Amino acid sequence: MKSMLIAALAWAAAGAGAAMAAPPSPADVKALRALGDAADAAWDARDADRMASYYAADASLLVGGGGPVQLGRDDIRAYFTRAFAQRVGTMRHVSEFRGQDMLGPDLVLTDLWVRVEERQPDGTWKEVRRFNNISLAVREDGAWKMKAVRAYPVG
């Protein structure tokens, strides 16, 4: 599966033209981090509609490495609806940016760690899952959207 992701990223980079990977502009960094923060907040709120709205219409999502790939915003919305309905307790989703590379003017590769934390009876938070998340984001109609998200469990 990871070899397929590497091939897809190579294809995306080739399609981005002759531009070399470079850091995003400060404005793009701010917008991409805002997208991450908004997605974290939607996840925390169990809001599948809002979560799906942060994905491109033709996006893909793979969580866990072995499950089915969700294709398109409607499929992604259905996935989050099911996942959120199964969640027990108070949890939060915390994204930590590790790196971003512009592959073209409207395409960025983002690498993050994602922690899923559960609120404990004493009010503290305990990490219950961690993912290495590798994503492609595209600029659509002036806004950044998640295009391809791959979340691989760590540990």
Contacts 24+ apart (CB under 8 A), 81-88: 81/48, 84/46, 84/47, 84/48, 87/46
CATH classification for the domain delimited by 2-14+22-153, as one of 3.10.450.50, 3.40.50.620, 3.40.50.10490, 3.20.20.10: 3.10.450.50
Which sequence spans correspond to the domains of the chain? Answer: 2-14+22-153
Taking the model in full, what pTM does it have?
A: 0.84
Query: What average pLDDT does the structure give for the chain?
Result: 88
Please tell me what DSSP assigns to residue 66: S
The gap between the terminal CA atoms of the chain, to the nearest Å, is 18
Tell me the torsion sign for CA atoms 140, 44, 102, 14.
Answer: negative
Q: pLDDT tens-digit profile of 3-40?
A: 444 444 444 444 444 455 778 899 999 999 999 999 99
Distance, in Å, from the CA atom of 52 to the CA atom of 31, rounded to the nearest integer, reads 17
Q: pLDDT tens-digit profile of 30-86?
A: 999 999 999 999 999 999 999 999 999 999 999 987 778 989 999 999 999 999 999
Q: 86: which 2 tokens?
A: 């199964």
Q: pLDDT tens-digit profile of 133-147?
A: 999 999 998 899 999
Task: Please compute the mean of the pLDDT values over residues 102-123 and round it to a whole number.
Answer: 96
